[in-house]
Amino acid sequence: MREVIVIGGGAAGLMAAIAAAERGARVTLLERNEKPGKKLYITGKGRCNVTNDCAAEDFLREVPRNPRFLYSALADFAPRDMMDFLERNGCPVTVQRGRRVFPASEKASDVTRTLVRVTERLGVRAVYNCRVQGLILREGRCAGVRTEDREWPADAVIVATGGLSAPLTGSTGDGYRFAEEAGHSLTPRRPSLSAIETADAWPCELQGLALKNVTLTLRETKRGKILYTELGEMLFTHFGISGPLVLEMSCHLPEDWREPGRVAAELDLKPGLSAEQLDARLQREFAAAPRKRLANVLPALLPARLAALFPELAKVDAEKPCGEITREERRALCGTLKSLPIAMKALRPIDEAIVTRGGVSVKEIDPATMASKKVPGLYFAGEVIDVDAHTGGYNLQIAFATGHLAGSCAAEE
């Protein structure tokens, strides 16, 4: 019977342990926290968007980096397989907007409990509060792991330690160190699905204000090419902008996005109206109250706090009576409502991001098995690998699929 050790009890690690045990291996799961699945508990705002109910070709379009690396993993364990796994093991699921899949209870804890229950049924030995210090490398292969007080021999070791995001859940980058010890290269790591700090102060003045049904667009400045545009929700914070639209947009930022004039972000506050329709709406509002100050009319169009700032953003006098506003000023108001520029400065620190971009180079991992091409007996799964995706359940599915493939192959080597 093959001895398999899984480092990390998150989504990838739990699934790797299950797959290895199902194929007859004796599996030990080593988790540094006092319980497994800590990051799972906070995904989807505690609701746990486990996967996305889509075909493989649609899935891979949501993976901006190294999508072809995932062909075998998704063929081995597709989104529908994950849904069936949960249903079969007592955790019904529901498909919501954007084909996002959640547990029917909308409780992340139910997903974690299901995974843990299956590991227990299969006889996986789970050891908690156990931090791996390093790999045991002998005669050119991985022969186990070292912890503070002992060595753990194994025929195969699966590194599923996560990335650098959400370090309070245990993702502190240990897996990157293990990979480097084994001779693997790492690609640069940076935040993905991240909030954004702004260069302008006005977003910070709106801290706490959430906007719904607005369109956020990212475009290349020189060519005008649209890199991202989507309708949805966003949030102003003490440092700039956040919320679903912003997190998703951060995935589409090119590596050199901070170069002056490289990209521009703009916000359409009235996406349901064309520029002509919006201009007609303003003319009606102004004609109905020609003596009212502009500042008193704008709250009919915008949330009060944003309405108070808006004349300054559009460079129109807030005290001016509506009947005296010129055509050029009205165009400035319309233009700003339809295309409010947001000057971006930096992504928030990686420990605040949802996902880490970068990691163990996919060039050094066999995509058909998740095995190291450099060290026999060593496997990788989940966020530690240089693969990340957009929001919508794709990143968790990558963790489950790569974990399942790594566990299956580690048990059968």
> Which domains, ranges and CATH numbers included, belong to the chain?
3-191+354-412 (3.50.50.60), 195-347 (no CATH)
pLDDT at 41: 80
CB 194 within 8 A of CB 250: yes
Cα distance from N-terminal residue to C-terminal residue, the chain: 11
The model's pLDDT over 72-88, given as tens digits with 9 standing for 90+, comes to 999 999 999 999 999 99
pLDDT, mean of residues 38-50: 84
pLDDT at 172: 81
pLDDT at 413: 74
pLDDT band at 399 (very low <50, low <70, confident <90, very high): very high
pLDDT band at 11 (very low <50, low <70, confident <90, very high): very high
Diameter of the chain by CA atoms?
87
pLDDT at 118: 98
Q: Long-range contact list for 93-97, CB < 8 A, 24+ apart?
A: 93/50, 95/53
- Report the distance separating Cα 32 and Cα 172, nearest Å: 11
pLDDT at 154: 98
pLDDT at 43: 78
- Report the distance separating Cα 341 and Cα 267, nearest Å: 6
The model's pLDDT over 96-118, given as tens digits with 9 standing for 90+, comes to 999 999 999 999 999 999 999 99
The model's pLDDT over 139-161, given as tens digits with 9 standing for 90+, comes to 999 999 999 999 999 999 999 99
pLDDT, mean of residues 379-394: 95
pLDDT band at 170 (very low <50, low <70, confident <90, very high): low
Sheet containing 100-103: which strands, arranged edge to edge? Answer: 51-52, 100-103, 93-96
- pLDDT-above-90 percentage for the chain: 91
pLDDT, mean of residues 41-54: 87
Q: What is the mean pLDDT of the chain?
A: 95
What are the backbone angles phi and psi of residue 92, rounded to the nearest 5°?
Answer: -60, 150
pLDDT at 165: 85
pLDDT band at 169 (very low <50, low <70, confident <90, very high): low
pLDDT band at 166 (very low <50, low <70, confident <90, very high): confident
Distance of CA 325 to the CA centre of its chain: 45
- Report the distance separating Cα 271 and Cα 310, nearest Å: 17
Question: What global pTM score does this model have?
Answer: 0.89
pLDDT, mean of residues 10-35: 97
The model's pLDDT over 316-373, given as tens digits with 9 standing for 90+, comes to 999 999 999 999 999 999 999 999 999 999 999 998 998 999 999 999 999 999 999 9
Beta bridge partners of 27: 4
pLDDT band at 168 (very low <50, low <70, confident <90, very high): low
- Report the distance separating Cα 355 and Cα 190, nearest Å: 9
The model's pLDDT over 171-225, given as tens digits with 9 standing for 90+, comes to 788 999 999 999 999 999 999 999 999 999 999 999 999 999 999 999 999 989 9
pLDDT at 122: 98
